[in-house]
């Protein structure tokens, strides 16, 4: 059961990581090959078209998924979380009250806060610093450097989000600490320009993506391991708030920070 749970978390996380690289790589590749951004985006409209076909035709639709009889049969056939409880009927009928949900959030903070902090640092780099980390007079233009940083980052995310079956991280707090070190190094690079080669920046950006993806997959895996069966579904859903809040905070910080740094660079 533990291995199956890990496989489910890994597959879900890997899929979300794959979406990033599948989006970023064709855009960077096509624009670097000479296609304009407008034409590239028009070419890439095939992706939502394929998503529509997959949803409408390819994917098998569940049959009355929310009916009790189907859920019980599903849980018996697949050893889902309902099978872990002593009384599946009670768990199906049970609904958490608002007070119970708020009480359940408290023990989730040890998972959610590190994830949120990782995403604040990560998206501060993505939204506030990438555009400022350019090198003059190399084989990539300033705009191309930004695009390939995104590809590099998404590659790191994909690798680490697919890694929980191979490498598991229990000390989640190490991830925001390391990501903040990345912020410090790359912010210093914006002002001091002490890193001489873009490949070193690519390595740091890849590491940034690895940390972000690792925080995501290991947080949800730890929740799936540690939280009682009847509260897993709510806990996993609630934890997704952490990365969204982190991204929002990062956006609020990085936009004025980016503009301020730009104004300083103009004066230099």
Q: Which residues of 83-110 are buried (b: 16+ CB within 10 A; e: fewer)?
A: ebbeebeebbeeeeeeeeeeebeeebee
- What residue has token string 């997704």? 240
User: What pLDDT was estimated at residue 265?
Assistant: 62
Asked if the structure places residue 86 within a domain, the reply is: no
Q: pLDDT per residue over 86-129, tens digit each?
A: 444 444 445 778 888 888 889 899 999 999 999 999 999 999 99
Cα torsion 233, 236, 240, 241: sign? positive
**Would residue 136 count as lying in a domain?**
yes
Helices assigned H by DSSP within 125-197: 142-161, 174-192
Asked whether 75 and 88 are in contact (CB, 8 A), the reply is yes
Name the DSSP letter for residue 54.
I
239 neighbors 109 (Cβ within 8 angstroms): no
Q: What is the pLDDT of residue 178?
A: 97
Q: Are 242 and 112 in contact (CB under 8 A)?
A: yes
In a domain, 88, yes or no: no
Q: Are 213 and 158 in contact (CB under 8 A)?
A: yes
Structural domain includes residue 87: no
Q: Is the pLDDT of residue 28 over 70?
A: yes
- Distance from C-alpha of 16 to C-alpha of 112, rounded to nearest angstrom: 18
> Rounded to whole angstroms, how far apart are CA atoms 132 and 142?
9
**The pLDDT of residue 175:** 96
Task: State the average pLDDT over residues 48-69.
Answer: 73
Number of domains in the chain: 1
Tell me, yes or no, whether 198 lies in a domain: yes
Q: Residue 229 pLDDT > 90, yes or no?
A: no
Name the residue range of residue 99's domain: 2-61+95-267
Question: 168-196 pLDDT, tens per residue?
Answer: 899 999 999 999 999 999 999 999 999 99
In a domain, 68, yes or no: no
Model-level pTM? Answer: 0.81
Higher-confidence residue of 12 and 44: namely: 44
In a domain, 220, yes or no: yes
Structure tokens at 222: 């730890």
Q: Which of 130, 131, 123 is nearest to 179 (CA)?
A: 123
Residue 73 lies in a domain: no
């Amino acid at each position: 059961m533990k291995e199956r749970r890990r496989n489910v978390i890994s597959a879900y996380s890997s899929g979300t990581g794959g979406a990033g690289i599948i989006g970023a790589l064709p855009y960077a590749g096509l624009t670097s090959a000479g296609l304009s951004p407008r034409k590239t985006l028009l070419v890439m409209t095939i992706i939502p078209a394929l998503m529509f076909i997959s949803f409408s035709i390819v994917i098998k639709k569940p049959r009355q998924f929310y009916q009790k009889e189907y859920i019980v049969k599903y849980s018996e056939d697949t050893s889902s979380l309902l099978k872990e409880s002593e009384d599946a009927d009670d768990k199906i009928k049970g609904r958490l009250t608002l007070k119970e949900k708020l009480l359940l959030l408290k023990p989730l903070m040890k998972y959610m806060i590190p994830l949120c902090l990782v995403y604040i640092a990560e998206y501060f780099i993505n939204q506030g610093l990438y555009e400022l980390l350019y090198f003059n007079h190399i084989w990539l233009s300033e705009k191309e450097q930004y695009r390939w940083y995104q590809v590099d980052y998404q590659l790191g995310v994909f690798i680490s989000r697919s890694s929980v079956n191979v490498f598991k991280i229990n000390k989640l707090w190490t991830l925001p600490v390391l990501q903040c070190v990345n912020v410090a190094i790359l912010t210093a690079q914006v002002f001091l320009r002490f890193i001489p080669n873009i490949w070193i920046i690519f390595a740091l950006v890849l590491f940034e993506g690895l940390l972000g993806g690792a925080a995501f997959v290991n947080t949800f895996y730890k929740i799936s391991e540690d939280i009682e069966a009847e509260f897993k579904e709510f806990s996993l859903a609630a934890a997704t708030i952490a990365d969204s809040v982190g991204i929002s905070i990062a956006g609020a910080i990085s936009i004025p920070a980016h503009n301020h740094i730009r104004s300083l660079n103009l004066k230099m």
